[in-house]
A and B are shown apart, each in its own frame.
Chain A
């Protein structure tokens, strides 16, 4: 069985990506409310994080894209932007910052997984050429039959979101949960790159180097933030 994606006159890619971000933010708000974060902190954190997520996503895409007229979103840029936004908000409000950070990090795979529906319909980030079951078939100029890499991405990241919810709820030390989720996200995203059409078959391709850099940058940012806020230290 093959999945046929029709060529659309108007691509819903941007709408689906932004809707995914909105759904992810709604899930993060729910988790923050459950953790007892005040409404004021939630409101301004969401505002600042949304600005950072969308701006960094667009600018990183702009920097990586060779076509000067193209406009799109970068998933890696969005994740780093989201962490930066939550981090700065934590420094401003200092209201249960580790719970706020854990809520956003836990919902990041949900946003990413749902946003892959935009890639599936838009035809970007597709897999290598493949003719077997569940192959994705595109028509038009970039037509062909490909491995369903976007569907695998969606399934894996939404499953990760479910696991993250349990981790954040069960683990008392939210900071450890944050590090575990960040490490898992980096490893999973690194492995999924092997399925993409642009992977050149080498052990570590350029896309995977970007994933490792983004993962390392996120861990460094969270660690610096932890020291700035004095999280984990005994009160004097």
Chain B
């Protein structure tokens, strides 16, 4: 049936067979490119968050109260914006381009980094509290 239609069709068969599969491929490539762009922006923002967090620590360690406290506030605000924006973008990529593997992997990496950072922070605080509680000062 399909062959008969193609035989009777005045259009060139090559033209028909070339055009029909070409469009979904273009769509797939465009979707992949859009999803990857979202993921790269998200990843850049996540890396910026790590740099800003390092900046917060440096302000705390290296500067006196006035400059250090002001710098910590600025880096904290910028860091929270970039951190939240990175999550928003990766979730947009996951929601709109469900087939994209990069978005899926990136989301798993974000979850893993956030959980690891939280565990390290809790362990560090527990260590500090334990050290303070068991501190022995002779004399």
- Nearest CB to that of B107 among chain A residues? A47
Q: Are B77 and A10 in contact (CB under 8 A)?
A: no
Residues in B with CB closer than 8 Å to A92 are 88, 91-92, 95
Say yes or no: A51 contacts B95, CB within 8 Å: no
**What 1/0 flags go to A8-49 for Cβ under 8 Å of B?**
011100100000000000000000000000000000100110
B129 within 8 A of A: yes
Rounded to whole Å, the gap between the CB of A151 and the closest CB of chain B is 25
Name the A residues within 8 Å of B126 (CB-CB): 10
A59 within 8 A of B: yes
Q: Which of A50-67 contact B (CB under 8 A)?
A: 51-52, 55-56, 59, 62-63, 66
- Known contacts: A52-B84, A55-B83, A93-B95. The answer to whether A62 contacts B72 by CB under 8 A is yes
CB distance from A48 to the nearest CB of B (A): 6
Given the interface pairs A9-B133, A11-B129, the reply to whether A48 lies near B73 with Cβ below 8 Å is no
* B66-87 near A? 1/0 per residue, CB < 8 Å: 0011001100110110011001
B: number of interface residues (CB 8 Å)? 26
Chain A residues, CB < 8 A from B76 = 59, 62-63
Report the minimal beta-carbon distance from B116 to chain A, rounded to whole angstroms.
Answer: 15
Asked, given contacts A9-B129, A68-B65, whether A63 binds B77 with beta carbons under 8 Å apart, the answer is: yes
- B129 — which chain A residues lie within 8 A by C-beta? 9-11
A88 lies within 8 A of chain B by Cβ: yes
Chain A 53-94 per-residue mask, 1 if CB under 8 angstroms from chain B, else 0: 001100100110010110100000000000000001100110
Contact for A55 among B65, B68, B84, CB less than 8 A: B84
Asked if A59 contacts B87 (CB within 8 A), the reply is no
Task: Name which residue of chain A comes closest to B95, CB basis.
Answer: A92
A positions within 8 Å CB-CB of B? 9-11, 14, 44, 47-48, 51-52, 55-56, 59, 62-63, 66, 68-69, 71, 88-89, 92-93
B residues contacting A by CB (< 8 A) are: 60, 65, 68-69, 72-73, 76-77, 79-80, 83-84, 87-88, 91-92, 94-95, 111, 114, 122, 125-126, 129-130, 133
14 A–B contact pairs at CB < 8 A?
Answer: A44-B95, A47-B87, A48-B87, A48-B88, A51-B84, A51-B114, A55-B84, A62-B72, A63-B76, A68-B60, A68-B69, A68-B72, A92-B92, A92-B95
